[in-house]
Amino acid sequence: MFIEIDNSPRDYAWGSIHAIADLRGVAPTGGPQAELWLGAHPGSPSRIINPSHTGGAVTLAEWIAADPRTAVGERQKLPFLLKVLAAETPLSIQVHPSREQARSGFARENAEGIPLDAPHRNYRDDSHKPELIYCVSESFHALWGIRDISHTLSVLRGFIDAGQAARLSTDAIEWLAGHLDAHQGDVRDALALLLEPQSVPAQNLVAQLVAVAHTVSPGSSLARDANTVLLLGSTYPGDPGIGVALLMNRVELARGDVLFVPHGVLHAYLSGLGMEIMASSDNVLRGGLTTKHIDVPELLRIGVFEPGNPVLLPGNSVAHGVTRFSPDVPEFELVHVCVEGDLPGLELETQGPAIVFCVRGDARIQGRLESARVSRGRAFFVTPDERSLRIDGNAELFFALTGH
């Protein structure tokens, strides 16, 4: 079966006014549109366009609960969540839990009687949340993980030199550099000091970083880090997460690049439009750059803060126009499909339920039992019994599939 689905974009303040509307080919609402959820997560389950096809169920979550064998096969739930994400301004610095951490955290907060929709709740379900994002815009900017400490120390010393040359105070920046150097790069300890600042140097750090960043010339080796400080400082003035950002890798994706975020990795999306797929979870531990609930001790407990390079996930070109992005997780993989009208149709095998979203053109998808015509901005849920799909037309599509 091909079940057409839709949803209302989430109106988080960091969202873009135009990006999601333009991608879907509809008029913008005038307010921010941050995320379009395509899936069955209870936080925002997709609507079913024609409930007569699903026994009257009006959301994908409702239908799966009522008829799981038809909807998802042997599974009891849809294991992935597909999102269109449009960041006009930076998102929070955050980490996601492992499967074991999510299960124990969810059970603990249930036992404590914390409502699922409580603003201070950390664990809203019992699933881990690995995720990847495919850059749809010309570029996509993010912070990912902890960078090499020697690089961070070099940047901090550069800020100190630039500040002293401009006759600015740099004692707080010197304090952070000295702490990292003396503690052999103990990032967890540094994060605790930065995110829960008790000392005067920690409290003064952000103001000094912003002041020095304003003096850095565009051609300087410090320009990229100064840009990060100024971007975050203009959006979240005085936020301690601005200091944390200098401990992290700055990543710039080009269109078609894919960034994978495993559990425990500190990250923040800064700007851009992307297709994001993840395990079906909404578990987020935030540490800064947000007005939402922050739980620094829990973030420090579950995070993985070993320095490392960002994981840019290579695609596997399985056929002309078909590229699979398969992280080492069982819940999902993302397939990018470009079909051209003057070429033979493409074929795609599925191993379970799927969701397809069209971002350009239109195409006909023929399954084992039924078919559907998709066009720009439309999405369909595909049941497992369709199995082998043939795609004809002239279109660009994204398929969310279960992992192998």
E strands along 280-366, which residues?
A: 285-288, 311-312, 316-319, 322-325, 333-339, 346-349, 354-366
- pTM comes to 0.95
* pLDDT(184) > 90: no
Choosing from 306, 329, 351, the residue where a domain stops is 306
Instruction: Report the alpha-carbon distance of residue 371 to residue 173 in Å, rounded.
Output: 61
Residue 264 and residue 117 in one domain: yes
Q: What value does the mean pLDDT take over residues 82-96?
A: 98
Active site residue 390: no
In a shared domain, residues 131 and 257: yes
CA angle 227, 269, 314 (to 5 degrees): 110
Same domain? 28 vs 89: yes
- Same domain for 204 and 263, yes or no, is no
Please indicate, yes or no, whether residues 133 and 262 belong to a single structural domain of this protein: yes
Contacts of 65 (CB under 8 A, 6+ apart): none
Catalytic hit among 124, 147, 286, 324 = 286
What's the total number of domains in the chain?
3
The confidence score (pLDDT) of residue 96 equals 97
Q: Above 90 in pLDDT, residue 183?
A: no
User: Residue 272 sits in which domain range?
Assistant: 7-39+78-144+252-306
pLDDT, average across residues 21-27: 96
pLDDT higher at 61 or 186:
61
Among 305, 270, 263, 311, residue whose Cα is nearest residue 285: 263
Give the per-residue pLDDT at 197.
77
Give yes or no: residues 344 and 238 share one domain.
Answer: no
Q: Where a domain ends, among 221, 245, 269?
A: 245
Q: Over 80: is that where the pLDDT of 385 sits?
A: yes
Query: Does the residue 290 lie in any domain?
Result: yes
- Strand ranges (E), 199-353: 248-254, 258-261, 267-279, 285-288, 311-312, 316-319, 322-325, 333-339, 346-349
Handedness of CA 185, 245, 81, 271 (dihedral sign): negative
Question: Same structural domain for residues 164 and 256?
Answer: no
What CATH number should be reported for the domain holding residue 352?
2.60.120.10
Q: Which uninterrupted H or E stretch holds 181?
A: helix 171-182
Q: What is the mean pLDDT of residues 185-211?
A: 89
For residue 225, the surrounding DSSP H or E stretch is helix 223-235
**Residue 45 domain-assigned (yes or no):** no
pLDDT of 40 higher than 90: yes
Q: What is the pLDDT of residue 118?
A: 94
State pLDDT tens for residues 250-288.
999 999 999 999 999 999 999 999 999 999 999 999 999
Question: What integer is the mean pLDDT of 9-37?
Answer: 97
173 domain-assigned: yes
CA nearest neighbour of 159 among 174, 181, 179, 143: 174
Answer whether residue 377 shows pLDDT above 80.
Answer: yes
pLDDT band at 199 (very low <50, low <70, confident <90, very high): confident
pLDDT of residue 196: 83
Backbone dihedral angles phi then psi of residue 304, each to the nearest 5 degrees: -115, 115
Examine the pLDDT at 227 and tell me if it is beyond 80.
yes
Give the pLDDT confidence of 110-163 residue by residue, as tens digits: 999 999 989 999 999 999 999 999 999 999 999 999 999 999 999 999 999 999
pLDDT band at 234 (very low <50, low <70, confident <90, very high): very high
Angle at 294 between CA 291 and CA 32, to 5 degrees: 30
DSSP string, 37-89: EES--TTSPPEES-GGGGTT--BHHHHHHH-HHHHHTT-SS--EEEEEEEESS
For residue 185, pLDDT beyond 80:
no
Q: Please, where are the H alpha helices in 268-319?
A: 296-302
Is the model's pLDDT at 354 over the cut of 90? Answer: yes
Q: Where are the beta strands (DSSP E) in 88-171?
A: 93-95, 131-135, 139-146
> How much is the average pLDDT of 37-62?
97
Within this chain, do residues 221 and 345 fall inside the same structural domain, yes or no?
A: no
Last residue of a domain, one of 245, 260, 293: 245
Q: Is the domain of 340 the same as that of 377?
A: yes
| 237 located within any domain | yes
Question: Measured between alpha carbons, how far is residue 217 from residues 179, 205, 212, 321 in Å?
Answer: 27, 21, 11, 43
Q: Is pLDDT at 213 greater than 80 in this prediction?
A: yes
Q: Tell whether 27 and 126 lie within a shared domain.
A: yes
Q: What is the DSSP string of 313-326?
A: PPPEEEETTEEEE-
The whole-number pLDDT of residue 261 equals: 98
Q: What is the mean pLDDT of the chain?
A: 95
Q: Are 353 and 381 in contact (CB under 8 A)?
A: yes
Q: What is the pLDDT of residue 126?
A: 93
In this prediction, residues 373-396 reach a mean pLDDT of: 96
Render pLDDT for 288-340 as a digit per residue (tens, 0 to 9).
999 899 999 999 999 999 999 999 999 999 888 999 999 999 999 999 999 99
Q: Is residue 377 part of a domain?
A: yes
- Is 64 inside a domain boundary? no
Residue 118 lies in a domain: yes
For residues 49 and 72, what is the distance between their CA atoms, to the nearest angstrom? 18
Strand partners, 364: 373, 392
pLDDT value of residue 198: 78
Residue 91 falls within a domain, yes or no? yes
Residues 122 and 241 in one domain: no
Domain identity same for 188 and 275: no
pLDDT at position 103: 97
Region 230-240 average pLDDT? 96
Once rounded to an integer, what is the mean pLDDT over residues 87-100? Answer: 97
pLDDT at 202 over 80: yes
204 C-beta neighbours (distance < 10 Å), count: 17
